[in-house]
Structure 1
Amino acid sequence: MPMQRKRLKACNCPAEMVKSSYRDACFRRPKKHADETDSSGEEEKENTRDSCGSVLSEVTSAPTARDQLKYNLIVCKQMVGIFVTVWVKKELVQHIGHLRTSCIGRGILGCLGNKGCISVSMTVHQTSFCFICSHLASGQKEGDEFRRNSDVLEIQRLTLFSRLCRRTGRRIPEKILEHDKVIWFGDLNYRIALSYEDTKRLLTENNWDALFEKDQLKIERDAGRVFKGWNEGKIYFAPTYKYSSNSDAYAGETATSNKKRRTPAWYVTMYNFK
């Protein structure tokens, strides 16, 4: 089905404004900027993709069902196996501003994109948000968790969002922790620091609390080595890595499975800051 696109302006700050109105103008996207009839100039057209190739300033919807859609796509970005989209309720589109992405490679040679993250920065009304989708270093050997810690710290250090505002007066976040709300999710690859046999025994007992006490990410966070001050939701489910396709059995545990047996773990998680 053909898609109809509406361009969004990356920055809402007008070139000329009185100082008293700067706060509102900087964070509010005038409704006309989200209209289909908005005829953006060539400069805006060139800015619809950032240096990583992200679609930044287009809202996509199906023309035949536009009035029925509850959400609009505002960002779409892929880096090797990492893929991020951000969808916004259509009534909020006009209030989205300062939309930017950043991609950091942490894979082969410490720079390729098979590991790393995609980060999205945006404002909704007067609140700034940052979403980080990451795929951290793999490995189950003792000490591999420190490589994952290093990935997190380097992502925080290297991520820098471009400055789009035309005027000074209010600082728009350029680093991850400068945002009002930060959500970090993805395949963080932290393991459970137990043998396969001990992990399976606790799984059989549905003893999530005992398993979680041995979760590498919890251990590293409690020690203050990574994600200090961040929060994770309560775990109410068994480790999700790695099930066989269309099965409740973990990979490598059945006679018909040709997958390598791995110790189950909560690889995929979500953290929030502030």
Structure 2
Amino acid sequence: ILLFVYVRSTHVPKCTLISRASVPTGFMGLAGNKGGVGIRFRFYETDICFVNSHFASGDGQTNRRNDDYQKIESGMVFTDGPTYSLKDYIWYTPTTAGSTAPNPATSNQWWKISDHDIIFWCGDMNYRISQPNEQVRKAINELSTVPLHEKDQLRCEMKLNNVFSGYYEPPIEFMPTYKFDINTDTYDTSEKLRTPSWTDRILYRPKRSKVLNDNQTELESIKPIHYLSANNIKFSDHRPVSGLYSVVIKYECDEKRSSRIREELIREFDRLENDSIPTIEVEPRPPEIKFNHIRYLDKPTYTLKIKNIGECSCLCSISPSSISPSFQCLTFTPNQPYTINVKQEQYVNINFNAKFNVHSISEILILHVENGADTFITLDVTFDHGPFGLALNEYPSTFYDRESKKYIYTIENKFQSEHIVEMINDPPILYISLIDCLKERDDLNLISIFNNDTQDSLDLLPLRDQLYENNFDFTNYSTAQLFMILLHLLQSLRQPLISFEIQDKIFRNRNDNLSKQDDMTKAISIIVEQMQGKERNLFFRLLLLLQKCWPTKGQIEKTEAESGDILNICIDILALSILHEHLDRNQRRAFILACLNEENKN
């Protein structure tokens, strides 16, 4: 996903506080096959943000596209220093010497997407037309596409306030931009015969819809001039979309005039403040969020009703009372902030995404009302103890029966037989059982596991619940379910399989060029020597499993021809599962390829 912002050279000195950010929304929220990139800057005195995104594909994936929007909108953060994500800021802890982890104390300010005066959000959003294919094509042939607008998924979701709250789009007066046979004007004639749709869009959102020019004339903040599709560009299966807009920009005025306006505004604000103070009422009362017995991957929801009972509109938002990792697990639908008119109500769904393992959480959230009284919301979460989010040495001990030459699949550690011994250097029995079961599967193939159709149909919750019960009979589960739950276990480890300390020693504190295959192979040997027994044993077992299911050269060529970038996505996710997000992407990829001796084949 690529985004360029061009500014005329005469205006470049007035572009300040420039920052960029990105949010992946691909497999497991780790890979970058889908997601968004953004650029923000201050143009004169106006904060402008541009976002380019690529949402989930597929006719029936409206909810996944909505989720992609929510993840990008809530997770994209711009800073006035190095570029980091909101997760980096909330999870900040001091690390090893020389680490580049962000420290909020050294950053002057940061912005969310919604903090800007002007926002343009564009991209391949992949929303489709919910109408039978033949009816859509007939309407296009008859040049009668207006009725199709009512079936456009994006506009329907915007009306329901599920996505892009406060955003606008000019009237669509061009034909659907997807999907064409390349270098033709003919809609898709392939075997899949996709329904033509307006997948490529440009939306905009002003902080204020109208502004005063010279304190007198009222102007629209953003005024569309044209919104077009480039039908003469045919080398892609999409038709590009462009828009031209007139935008009102704030600029500095002379000091005397500024002082006069400031005094007038202060007097006016004082009058307004005395006349009306925003007042809200919330339900349930008191607002207490209680999620009990939460397990990894659970997504419980709490619905909060906010009613404006005052005499003026109010602006509300929910924030943590202090920097806390638990707030990073919360998402709000619709997105914040909320403007509530007099006597109106706003329902807010507060969702908790359990991705770590602690005993309990007890926090205070603040429902902040601009110029009004705050309301406090208690958040209490209790977790079921399970296998996710632990360190390897926190799992039950692993035991082996030397007489039967089998591992003992139980968590009890009181055994009377002299044949049973504790294997202190072996990984937890959960990992052993998963890997051994996968090695026996005839359909173990990475390409099929990471296929879009396979991933879209996966349900990991029943298998997750079985792991919480320490039941290691995986007969009823598919190979894809077992493999993905194994990756979740690795990704949730408190420290990655190869610790941050070892990664820093090998990759960050060496002057050697580790980009070559021979150099990376030497680095791997050093890494293995420095790993602890359990980690080393699990690492070798995992590599043997990956070598068994790694695609052949013929499978790779067929995949590249039919499904594009699945192998690269697979490599990225495997590397992230073993190393976590500590090294840069090129180092992670070089490492995993060297481990599998695949560099020369690719």
Which TM-score bucket, shorter chain as reference?
0.5 to 0.7
Pairing 1:103–2:22 present: yes
Secondary structure at 1:133 match in 2: strand
Amino acid at match of 1:147: R
Q: Is the 8 A contact 1:134 1:188 kept in 2?
A: yes
State the 4+ residue runs in structure 1 displaced beyond 2 angstroms. none
Q: What stretches of structure 1 of length at least 5 have no aligned partner?
A: 1-81, 166-170, 253-257
Pairing 1:266–2:189 present: no
Deviation at 1:164, TM superposition (A): 4.0
Deviation at 1:121, TM superposition (A): 0.8
Larger Rg: 2
Report the counterpart of residue 76 of structure 2 in structure 1.
159
Report the counterpart of residue 238 of structure 1 in structure 2.
175
Alignment of 1:59-208 (within 5 A): 82-141=1-60, 144-164=61-81, 174-208=111-145
Secondary structure at 1:237 match in 2: coil
TM-score w.r.t. the length of structure 1 is 0.63
Secondary structure at 2:10 match in 1: helix
Amino acid at match of 1:179: H
Amino acid at match of 1:145: T
Cα deviations by residue, 1:186-237 (Å, 9 ceiling, x for unpaired): 0000000011011112112212210111000000001111112110011011
Measured in 1, the distance between the counterparts of 2:50 and 2:196 equals 27
| Higher RCO (C-alpha 8 Å, min separation 6) | 1
Amino acid at match of 2:35: G
Amino acid at match of 2:188: A
TM-score w.r.t. the length of structure 2 is 0.29
Measured in 2, the distance between the counterparts of 1:173 and 1:164 equals 9
Deviation at 1:94, TM superposition (A): 0.9
Match of 1:220 among 157, 170, 175: 157
Amino acid at match of 2:43: V
Q: Is the 8 A contact 1:149 1:225 kept in 2?
A: yes
Q: Is the 8 A contact 2:55 2:125 kept in 1?
A: yes
Measured in 1, the distance between the counterparts of 2:162 and 2:24 equals 21
Deviation at 1:110, TM superposition (A): 1.9
Deviation at 1:111, TM superposition (A): 2.2
Cα deviations by residue, 1:21-75 (Å, 9 ceiling, x for unpaired): xxxxxxxxxxxxxxxxxxxxxxxxxxxxxxxxxxxxxxxxxxxxxxxxxxxxxxx
Amino acid at match of 1:88: V
Q: Is the 8 A contact 1:106 1:113 kept in 2?
A: yes
Q: What stretches of structure 2 of length at least 5 have no aligned partner?
A: 83-107, 207-602
Measured in 2, the distance between the counterparts of 1:113 and 1:259 equals 28
Deviation at 1:259, TM superposition (A): 6.1
Secondary structure at 2:143 match in 1: coil
Measured in 2, the distance between the counterparts of 1:135 and 1:129 equals 20
Count of aligned residue pairs for this structure pair:
182
Identity %: 34
Measured in 1, the distance between the counterparts of 2:31 and 2:18 equals 24
Secondary structure at 2:50 match in 1: strand
Q: Is the 8 A contact 2:35 2:72 kept in 1?
A: yes
Measured in 2, the distance between the counterparts of 1:102 and 1:214 equals 33
Secondary structure at 2:3 match in 1: strand
Q: Which has the higher helix share?
A: 2
Report the counterpart of residue 64 of structure 1 in structure 2.
none
